[in-house]
């Protein structure tokens, strides 16, 4: 419940801000083009609050449904227009001017993303070093000779600063299906080159890293109980938040991953945990639950959130901070990288190479908004930049009812010298509404599946 108390306000702030930015792009360019604007609304539906500009006569609204917004312009297709106002109607403008007005929304979202990333680089991008854990023997990483503790410092001579850089870089190269050249720093400090063949890896990000066998390195650290689930094996055994788990049946546990794997391999079994609590060592017997895993096999479940002492991860933390001038090209490059990757992933979804499960809806976005807001300003601003890029790319899709569909119509009109017939435009709008409804349904379906685990 407390998570949603953070997620809902963060979601409303994020969506409200990004929609306001998007619609302001349309609003600003329309007014500069001499088009009469009637209303600027954040949200759809009935007005919750608003006012009317004294000199402009423009209505400024906050509306009931905070999932979008719109700029209403004078248009003869939507109602009668006085003869004196016809030169200021949107439909009377040259196609090039209408294209500029429509393109301004996504364009301002891209500019917002650049500004947000610029601020993030100024504040400092926190992350974890791109060090990898032990890879399974049959994985591509193990076959290429990568070892636990190796730090990947470059992909094809492109510098890697943190784990997010590594993830995005490999997803991008995985879509290409080419071999990549990694520069790897060992724990002794020497640097070597490792070739990684990505020609046979799945393009889907959900499967890519499993096939590669790459996961973040976990420094040796005694796992501890970060939280206990009510009415679980852990709570019934008397385990408490803060207990440090030293061993399971006498086998030492030096990482959270080792503990998780040991628990999962013992469904329904009675094990003895050796824990340290308030300076005392206790032996606590626990009968593990048995649940069905993702692969259908039974696995053990303790019913506790496993963590480590934060001090153990200090050596893994890294921060990239740039000055005002250096942050500008970095922000532009980051926006371009995220935009290009978003377009490529969408294209692979259409061809079926990337799972539609990657589509997220309002519930998942709200969840991410709450998580990043709870982390801090840098994380939340970075989240805003990412969603702003996604909003821009989505709106540029050539689907009627979206900005991209209008851009397609006006471009065709400009080329052929006359607009498409009203019947064709209406049919396109209907197809666009169906496509958008299907996309929204898919997004909500994915969100619900994630909630259900």
pLDDT tens digits, 289-299 = 888 876 678 88
Q: Flag whether pLDDT at 308 surpasses 50.
A: yes
Determine the 3-state secondary structure of 378 from DSSP: helix
- DSSP code, position 131: B
Collapsing DSSP to helix, strand or coil, 401 comes out as coil
Distance CA(202)–CA(197), nearest Å, equals: 12
Predicted confidence at residue 214, as pLDDT, reads 85
- Name the DSSP class of 124: -
Q: What is the DSSP string of 261-323?
A: HHHHT-TT-EEEEEEEETTEEEEEEEE-EEEE-TTS-EEEE--EEEEE-GGGGGGGEEEE---
Give me the CATH topology for the region 223-308.
Answer: Pdz3 Domain (2.30.42)
CA distance linking residue 83 with residue 361, whole number of Å: 44
Phi/psi at 45 (nearest 5 deg)? Answer: 85, -155
Rounded CA-CA distance 403/393 in Å is: 10
**Measured CA distances, 14 to 7, 10, 103, 225, 388 (Å):** 10, 6, 21, 33, 9
Locate all alpha helices (DSSP H) within 42-162, ordered by sequence: 95-123, 140-143
Q: Which pLDDT value is given to residue 411?
A: 95
Residues in the chain: 453
- Domain 140-212: give its CATH code: 2.30.42.10
Nearest Cα neighbor of 233 from 191, 271, 189, 281 is: 271
Token digits of residue 132:
């990898």
Look up residue 102 and give its two tokens.
């429509």
pLDDT of residue 2: 46
452: pLDDT strictly greater than 70: no
Question: Out of 113-117, 121-125, 349-353, which region has the weakest mean confidence (pLDDT)?
Answer: 349-353
> Which pLDDT band, with edges at 50, 70 and 90, does 439 fall under?
confident
Query: Where in the chain are the domains?
Result: 118-124+321-453, 140-212, 223-308
Average pLDDT over residues 56-79: 90
CA angle 285, 287, 288 (to 5 degrees): 125
> Residue 213: left if φ>0, alpha if ψ -120 to 50, beta else—which one?
left
**Whether residue 91 has pLDDT greater than 50:** yes
Look up the pTM and report it. 0.80
User: Residue 3 above 80 pLDDT?
Assistant: no
Under 8 Å between Cβ of 60 and 23: no
Name the pairing type of β-strands 158-159 and 179-185: unpaired
Is residue 261 flagged as an active site residue?
A: no
Question: Per-residue pLDDT tens for 8-30?
Answer: 888 888 888 999 999 999 999 99
* Residues 6+ positions from 343 with CB-CB distance below 8 Å: 393
Given a cut of 70, whether residue 5 has pLDDT beyond it is no
Domain 140-212 shares a fold with domain 223-308? yes
Residue 438 has which token pair? 């299907």
User: Scanning the structure block, which residue is given the tokens 């702030």?
Assistant: 13
Mean pLDDT check: name the lowest of 54-63, 215-224, 425-434. 215-224
């Amino acid at each position: 419940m407390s998570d949603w108390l953070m997620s809902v306000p963060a979601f409303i702030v994020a969506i409200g801000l990004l929609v306001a930015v998007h619609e302001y792009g349309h609003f600003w360019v329309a007014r500069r083009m001499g088009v009469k604007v009637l209303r600027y609304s954040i949200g759809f539906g009935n007005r919750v609050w608003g006012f009317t500009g004294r000199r402009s006569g423009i209505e400024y609204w906050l509306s009931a449904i905070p999932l979008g917004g719109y700029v209403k312009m004078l248009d003869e297709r939507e109602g009668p227009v006085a003869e004196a106002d016809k030169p200021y109607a949107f439909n009377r403008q040259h196609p090039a001017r209408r294209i500029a007005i429509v393109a301004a929304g996504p364009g301002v979202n891209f500019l917002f993303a650049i500004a947000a990333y610029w601020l993030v680089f100024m504040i400092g991008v926190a992350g974890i070093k791109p060090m990898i854990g032990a890879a399974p023997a049959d994985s591509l990483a193990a076959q290429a000779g990568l070892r636990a503790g190796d730090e990947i410092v470059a992909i094809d001579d492109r510098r890697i600063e943190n784990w997010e850089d590594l993830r995005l870089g490999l997803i991008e190269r995985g879509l290409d299906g080419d071999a990549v050249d990694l520069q790897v720093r060992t724990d002794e400090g020497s640097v070597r080159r490792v070739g990684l063949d990505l020609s046979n890896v799945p393009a889907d990000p959900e499967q890519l890293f499993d096939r590669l066998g790459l996961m973040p390195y976990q420094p040796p650290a005694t796992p501890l109980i970060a939280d206990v689930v009510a009415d679980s094996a852990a709570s019934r055994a008397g385990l408490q938040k803060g207990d440090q788990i030293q061993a399971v049946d006498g086998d030492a546990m030096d990482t959270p991953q080792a503990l998780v794997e040991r628990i999962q391999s013992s469904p329904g079994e009675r094990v003895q945990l050796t824990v340290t609590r308030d300076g005392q060592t206790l032996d606590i017997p626990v009968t593990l639950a048995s649940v069905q895993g993702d692969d259908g096999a039974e696995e053990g479940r303790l019913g506790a959130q496993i963590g480590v002492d934060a001090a153990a991860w200090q050596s893994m933390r890294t921060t990239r901070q740039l000055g005002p001038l250096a942050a500008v090209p970095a922000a532009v490059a980051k926006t371009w990288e995220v935009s290009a990757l978003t377009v490529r992933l969408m294209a692979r979804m259409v061809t079926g190479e990337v799972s539609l499960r990657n589509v997220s809806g309002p519930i998942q976005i709200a969840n991410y908004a709450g998580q990043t807001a709870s982390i801090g300003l840098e994380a939340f601003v970075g989240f805003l930049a990412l969603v702003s890029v996604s909003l821009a790319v989505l709106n540029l899709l050539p689907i009627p009812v979206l900005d991209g569909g209008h851009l397609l119509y006006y471009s065709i009109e400009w080329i052929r010298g006359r607009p498409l017939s009203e019947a064709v435009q209406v049919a396109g709008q209907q197809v666009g509404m169906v496509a958008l409804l299907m996309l929204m349904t898919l997004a909500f379906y994915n969100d619900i599946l994630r909630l259900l685990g």
